[in-house]
Structure 1
């Protein structure tokens, strides 16, 4: 699904859609929503989400990048950077 024309808004919306099945507490999603504190995701849930994001956008998120991705906005920025090269 890699597409050079994806806007940041489209990427953000798709990531939010991917988060919803994991959002057991129905936390409202904003760019500043954190995975550990707000969504209470454990490491396994984060890895499942990463796999879903990688499949959705046909990319690979480098493992060394993952510790720095704490909010939805940070993930959106990382995905956009990888897609646009």
Structure 2
């Protein structure tokens, strides 16, 4: 089981190629507002996260995840199942 810090490190690494603005990543960094991602970028990123952690993030769960910290928490929860 990965710690939250390990999950955050992997999430930040996955965000890297999509972080065109060079935004500093924190728990409260938002995907739509801070990173300015469109829906296609979000879908590509979600696919990368699912592949990395071998999980499935449902559309309902995606709708609730607005920032990096929430994503890390969701990944941790899904990995427990």
Q: CA deviation at 1:63?
A: 1.1
Q: CA deviation at 1:50?
A: 0.2
Residue 33 of structure 1 aligns to a residue in which SS?
coil
Query: What TM-score results when the alignment is normalised by the length of structure 1?
Result: 0.93
Runs of 4+ in 1 over 2 A off after TM superposition: none
Matching residue of 1:12: 8
Structure 2, unpaired ranges of 5+ = none
Q: CA deviation at 1:21?
A: 0.2
Matching residue of 2:21: 25
Q: CA deviation at 1:61?
A: 0.5
Write the deviation string for residues 2-39 of structure 1: whole angstroms up to 9, x where unpaired: xxx20010001100000000000000000110000000
Q: How many residue pairs end up in the alignment? A: 81
Matching residue of 1:67: 63
CA RMSD of aligned residues (A): 0.5
Structure 1, unpaired ranges of 5+ = none
